[in-house]
Amino acid sequence: MKTLEKHELRTQRKYDRFAKVYDIFEAGIEKRFFGKWRKIVWNTLPRDARVLEVGIGTGKNIPYYPDRVKVVGIDFSEGMLAKAELAAKKHSDKDVKLVQMDVTNLKFEDNTFDFVISTFVFCTVPDPISGLKEIRRVLKPNGTVIFLEHMKSSKFLRNIPLYLMEPIMRFTVGTSVLRETKKNILLSGLRIRKEKNLFSDIFRMIECTKGE
């Protein structure tokens, strides 16, 4: 991995520590919402697709991988990856290879993957536009990127609770609840093909193509 900048190292270390309790911390929201949304994302993937999952975390998507889909899962946190290894062992029928890697410095050739999937990652990546540009680079010309992300709302009033939560989230896990992820996606050169609000316009599924 490239040498991480100080602010990136801080986030990486927070996730190394958070890994121990991450699944417990998110258990409620996972059961109520995230699990259903993950199923929708992964069900759209065709057999034999070559997939990159960025920021795989503790491997919460692994149970939802369709059969005969080949996935490379990357994350820059060793702690999160160790948990993902356990999830991969538990679901040994899934074809997944885990690698420690920074999404802003992907060690893959241009135009490698049919799909790139990112679930709840770009609220955290310290340098989001670089990461999104890297995703675009490794995506095949006819490939698809699917994001399941939370972001700042377009409505002022809906952002008030987010502004209140922001300092706690930043301090504890280095996540921002006010990221303008849609704007960042567009700035990276990816083109939005489809967009769906899942919970208000805060949690969204955004499907993209490589763009021109």
Cβ proximity to ligand SAM, 155 vs 196, nearer residue:
196
Which one of the spans 96-104, 152-160, 181-189, 191-199 is the region binding ligand SAM (CB under 6 A)? 96-104
Q: Check residue 185 for interaction with ligand SAM (CB under 6 A).
A: no
Pick from 105, 118, 128, 117: nearest CA to 175: 128
Quote the least distance from Cβ 133 to ligand SAM, whole Å. Answer: 12
Pick from 131, 115, 38, 116: nearest CA to 76: 131
Q: Check residue 144 for interaction with ligand SAM (CB under 6 A).
A: no
Contacts of residue 163, defined as CB under 8 A and 6 or more positions apart, other chains included, come to: 178
Quote the least distance from Cβ 51 to ligand SAM, whole Å. Answer: 13
Q: Check residue 114 for interaction with ligand SAM (CB under 6 A).
A: no
Binding residue for ligand SAM (CB under 6 A) from 37, 77, 115, 146? 77
Cβ proximity to ligand SAM, 102 vs 114, nearer residue:
102
Rounded distance between C-alpha atoms, residue 155 and residue 193, angstroms:
23
State both tokens at 11.
């986030």
CA distance to 3, 155, 164, 176, 182, per residue, from 158 (Å): 38, 6, 11, 15, 17
Positions of E strands within the chain:
50-54, 70-75, 95-100, 113-119, 139-150, 191-199, 203-209
Q: Check residue 190 for interaction with ligand SAM (CB under 6 A).
A: no
Helix (H) or strand (E) holding 156: helix 156-173
Quote the least distance from Cβ 57 to ligand SAM, whole Å. Answer: 2
Q: Check residue 177 for interaction with ligand SAM (CB under 6 A).
A: no
Residue numbers of the site for ligand SAM (CB under 6 A)?
Answer: 11, 15, 55-57, 60, 75-77, 80, 102-104, 119-121, 124-125, 131
